[in-house]
Amino acid sequence: MPMSQATAEQIAKLLNSQNQLFVPYTAANVLEHEGRYIVRLGVNSKVLGAVEVKRVQWYQCEIAHLSVDPEAKRQGIGSRLLQQAEARAKQLGASVARCTIRVGNEASEALFEKHEYHRTVIFLNQRSGNRVAVYQKVLEPVPAESA
C-alpha cells in the first residue's frame, strides 16, 4: 500500500524533531524513497516511530535516523524498528549494517549497543559541528570453523 502524504509529513516532522540534521527531511523526500522506510503506526495512523534502510555498498546497508515519538518512548518501538531494519538489510543482501549517531545521543547509543553494534570511529561533521560516531554490526557472521 503506498504511503500517504499525511504519513510522509509525520515521518519528516519526527525525523527533523528527533535529530540534529543539517539538511531537513521533507514529505517529498520521504515519498520519493518510501520503500526505504519502516514505520510504526499507532491510533489514528499516528507515526510512533520510523527508520530508513538504504543499501550503500554491495555488502552494506545504512540504518538512518531511527526515531521514536517522545510520547511513545520506552515501549520497545525502537528495538522492534531496529530488528525490522536489520531484517530488511538482510533481504537487500547486506552482511553489515551501519549507522551514524551524534556523540552524546545517549538513548540512540544505548539502543544500538544493546543490539550488538560496535562503535568504530568518531569524526567531526564540518557542516554541523557535531561529533559523529559510526556504529557497525555484522549481520552474517563468518562461521567459527571458517574463521
Domain span holding position 88: 5-146
What per-residue confidence (pLDDT) applies to 145? 76
Residue given cell 531494519 in the structure block? 85
What CATH number did the domain enclosing 117 receive?
3.40.630.30
Number of domains comprising the chain:
1
| Predicted confidence (pLDDT) per residue in 96-112, tens digit | 999 999 999 999 999 99
Task: Report the distance separating Cα 16 and Cα 27, nearest Å.
Answer: 11
The two beta strands, 96-102 and 37-41, are: unpaired
Full DSSP string of 19-46:
S--SS---HHHHHHTGGGEEEEE-GGG-
Give 146's pLDDT tier (boundaries 50, 70, 90).
low
| Predicted confidence (pLDDT) per residue in 8-56, tens digit | 999 999 999 998 788 899 999 999 999 999 999 998 999 999 999 999 9
Taking the whole predicted model, whether its pTM rises above 0.75 is answered as yes
Give the mean pLDDT of 115-140. 95
